[in-house]
Amino acid sequence: MAIRVAVIGAGAAGLCAVRHLASRPSTFSVTAFEQGEKVGGTWVYTEKTGTDAHGLPIHSSMYKNLKTNLPKEVMAFPDFPFDRNLPSFVKHSEVLEYLEQYASHFNLLQHIKFQTQVVKVEPVASEESKTKTGLGEKWEVTTAPATDRDCCVTEEYDAVIICNGHYSVPLIPKLPGLDTFQGQIMHSHNYRHPEAFKDKTVLCLGAASSGQDISIDLSSTAKMVYLCHNRDPIQSPLPPNLQQKSGIRSINGSTITLLDGEEVTADWILFCTGYHFTFPFLDDKCHVHIDTDERITPLYKHLIHTEFPSMSFIGICKTICPFPQFHVQVLLALGVLDGTVQLPSKEEMDADTEADLQKRLAEGLPRRYAHTMGNRQWAYNDEIASLAGIPQIPRAVQNLYDAIHLNRVKDLVNYKKNNYMLLDEENFVRLDN
């Protein structure tokens, strides 16, 4: 009898999980639950902010002018390239179209229940599941239609793969005096158009990718944009009305005091400060913990629940090339479920997780970087692929990713105008525009 798997979410990670589960119908039976009306998750652009027509929070953080900050040549799933006629840096609508094509090509829609909210996930002991998966629990998954959340249905599954994303619940830092600010406040989650800020002074707090990209987008209409952050200064030329400043110390009415003592005024504060991890559907019995530094435990390799290995989380890692990483993570999770991958003991997995954190702390990183990858992602991806017994992501993907990073550092405003092509497993070439 096939192993019944529930997949939560039909964004890129969820689609990847469904694609590989559905390709093995003699081993797996898959049902995915998607709160929205279509596939794509955060890539589904909407003008709306706040809540949708059913009173559920808007999931997407896309803004109108967003283009990817990675080229399509490195973004693609290893077994499904983007349309080669597209430019390297594509619009959010073109990524959504790619995901829709992926779902159509692999015939995934038949496995997805749309407009369905997962209300609760709870482990229950089961000898039958232990026989199927070698893992000792079943999962009760309670769902309800988004249109009638009082109409709940509970079904049992042998495994759960969680793919609900982590770009939907804004993280706003506690700043002294923020409640006294006399201007307007927004998180990047709700940013859509630069025209709304025409002739205004906007302070963007946070200079990771979204902060950099949104501040440049804003500079097209705003009077002045202050990009406030505590990172090393951006070395690239910037628009004349975009200035870098230090982070915020405190706010008093219309006056914003920065960490270096400078005082500025602004019409808007736009928080580009990231997101909370959230799994509101997980019952306490799932023993998943998110600490105040946004570290999720107990996860082996940021992926497998060490107490309940039939539960896995795809896409927890930050600062990554996402779709290829989802691919290797999903295949490792499936290897655990079908018994081809033998995990270490819970104690060994927990020790490995703690050692990973301690190594980061020893390098001077704060605890909130527990799931941040950056340059670590390549060794991590190789390790996951090795554990799963599958081919590694081609080295050309890393080589192009690293080259794009250098280009971005040098020319933040114009680097997306270039186009590239992967030549083979190791090499890429920049094309004449």
On the question of pLDDT at 129 being above 60, the answer is no
Strands 3-8 and 28-33: parallel
299 strand-pairing partners: 305
- Give kind and range of the element (H or E) at residue 374: none
Give the pLDDT score at 336. Answer: 97
On the question of pLDDT at 126 being above 70, the answer is no
HSE, CB side, 13 Å, CA atoms: give it for residue 228.
Answer: 28
- Give kind and range of the element (H or E) at residue 353: helix 346-362
Task: Average the pLDDT over 305-315 and give the result.
Answer: 97
Each residue's pLDDT tens digit, 340-383:
999 999 999 999 999 999 999 999 999 999 999 999 999 999 99
What's the token pair of residue 58? Answer: 């808007």
125 strand-pairing partners: 137
- How many residues are present in the chain? 433
Each residue's pLDDT tens digit, 231-247:
999 999 999 999 999 99
Task: Average the pLDDT over 48-60 and give the result.
Answer: 87
Each residue's pLDDT tens digit, 10-26:
999 999 999 999 999 99
Amino acid at 368: R
Helices (H) and strands (E) in the chain, counts: 9, 22
Compute the distance between CA of residue 264 and CA of residue 203 in angstroms, rounded to an integer.
Answer: 9
Compute the distance between CA of residue 262 and CA of residue 245 in angstroms, rounded to an integer.
Answer: 9
Largest CA distance in the chain: 67
Each residue's pLDDT tens digit, 101-125:
999 999 999 999 999 999 999 999 8
Give the pLDDT score at 390. Answer: 98
Task: Average the pLDDT over 315-323 and give the result.
Answer: 97
Q: What are phi and psi of 224, to 5 degrees?
A: -150, 140
Q: pLDDT band for position 131 (50/70/90)?
A: low
On the question of pLDDT at 137 being above 80, the answer is yes
Give the pLDDT score at 56. Answer: 82
- List of residues 6+ apart from 348 with CB closer than 8 A: none
HSE, CB side, 13 Å, CA atoms: give it for residue 138.
Answer: 16
**CA 92 → CA 34, 66, 95, 275, distances in Å?**
20, 6, 5, 19
Start-end of H helices in 143-272:
209-218
Give the pLDDT score at 57. Answer: 84
263 strand-pairing partners: 257
Compute the distance between CA of residue 177 and CA of residue 270 in angstroms, rounded to an integer.
Answer: 16
Share above pLDDT 70 across residues of the chain, in percent, rounded to a whole number: 98
Asked if residue 298 has a cis previous peptide bond (ω within 30° of 0), the answer is: yes
Could you identify the residue written with the tokens 């219309």? 254
On the question of pLDDT at 430 being above 80, the answer is yes
pTM of this prediction?
A: 0.96
- List of residues 6+ apart from 397 with CB closer than 8 A: 73, 74, 321, 324, 422
What's the token pair of residue 293? Answer: 């530094």
Mean pLDDT of the residues in the chain: 96
Query: Are 101 and 82 within 8 A, CB to CB?
Result: no
What's the token pair of residue 177? Answer: 């005096």
Give the pLDDT score at 168. Answer: 87
Give the pLDDT score at 365. Answer: 95
SS3 344: coil
Could you identify the residue written with the tokens 């920049």? 430
Query: Are 396 and 424 within 8 A, CB to CB?
Result: yes
SS3 163: coil
How are strands ordered across the β-sheet holding 153-157?
116-125, 137-145, 153-157
118 strand-pairing partners: 143
What's the token pair of residue 361? Answer: 């702390």
Q: Count CB-CB contacts under 10 A for residue 153.
A: 11
Give the pLDDT score at 223. Answer: 98
Q: pLDDT band for position 136 (50/70/90)?
A: confident
Q: pLDDT band for position 128 (50/70/90)?
A: low
Each residue's pLDDT tens digit, 236-287:
999 999 999 999 999 999 999 999 999 999 999 999 999 999 999 999 999 9
